[in-house]
Amino acid sequence: MQDRILDVAEHLVQTRGFNGFSYADIAASLGVTKASLHYHFPAKAQLGRDLIVRYTANFLAALKPIDEGAGGAPEKLRRYAGIYADVLSKDRMCLCGMLAAEYATLPKPMQKELRHFFDENEGWLAGVLQQGRRVGELAFSGPPRDVASLLVSSLEGAMMLARSHGNAKRFRTIADRLIADLAA
C-alpha cells in the first residue's frame, strides 16, 4: 500500500506541486479512507520526505546504466538529459524541480532531502564533466561542479519552459544546445 500511495503522491507533485494536493486527493484516487493513508504516513511531511528519498534512489539508479554504457562524456550528458525528457514526455515535471519551487514552504526534513537530490546530481555530473575535459571530449572554463550546477539549473528551467509552451521538443532543443556548447 505504501508504494501505491507514493506513486499517486509522486504523480500529484509532478503535475500540481506539493502544496497543490491533499490526502483527500490521494484517498480518492486509491479508493481508500484518509485514515488509512495516515496509518502509513502520519503526516504529509513524512510522505513528502519519503517521496524525495524514493525519487532520489530511482534517479541515481537510472544513472548506473549511463555510467556502465558505451560512449564518452557527451553521450553520458545526452542520456542524463534524456531522463528529464522522459519525465516531461509523460506530462510531468521533475519531482525535485517542482519541490524546489516550493522550497520555502516545505518542512525542514524535505528541504534536506531536496538538497541531497541536487547535490548527488551535481556530483555525478561534475565527475562526467571532469572526465570529459581530461580526455578532451569537453571544453569549459571553471570548476566542473559549477558547470554541473549550471546544467541542472538549465535542464530544470528548460522543463518549465517546455511545459509552459506545451512543447516537449523545446526541452530537447535546449538540452542539445547545452551539451553541444560543452563539446570540445
Q: Per residue of the chain (184 residues), give pLDDT as tens.
A: 999 999 999 999 999 999 999 999 999 999 999 999 999 999 999 999 999 999 999 999 999 999 998 899 999 999 999 999 999 999 999 999 999 999 999 999 999 999 999 999 999 999 999 999 999 999 999 999 999 999 999 999 999 999 999 999 999 999 999 999 999 7
Spatial distance between the Cα atoms of 95 and 14, rounded to a whole number of angstroms: 5
What would the CATH number be for the domain defined by 44-182?
A: 1.10.357.10
What number of other Cβ atoms are within 10 A of residue 36's Cβ?
14
| Cell of residue 32, nine digits | 481508500
Which of 118, 116, 100 lies closest to 160 in space, CA to CA?
A: 100
pLDDT in tens, 165-174: 999 999 999 9
Whether the CB-CB separation of 133 and 125 falls below 8 Å is answered with no
Whether the CB-CB separation of 171 and 162 falls below 8 Å is answered with yes
Q: Contacts from 161-166 at CB under 8 Å and sequence distance 24+? A: 162/88, 163/88, 163/93
Specify the residue for cell string 550528458. 77
Q: What is the pLDDT of residue 70?
A: 83
Specify the residue for cell string 578532451. 136
What SS3 class is residue 84?
A: helix
Spatial distance between the Cα atoms of 147 and 129, rounded to a whole number of angstroms: 8
What is the widest separation between alpha-carbon atoms in the chain?
Answer: 58
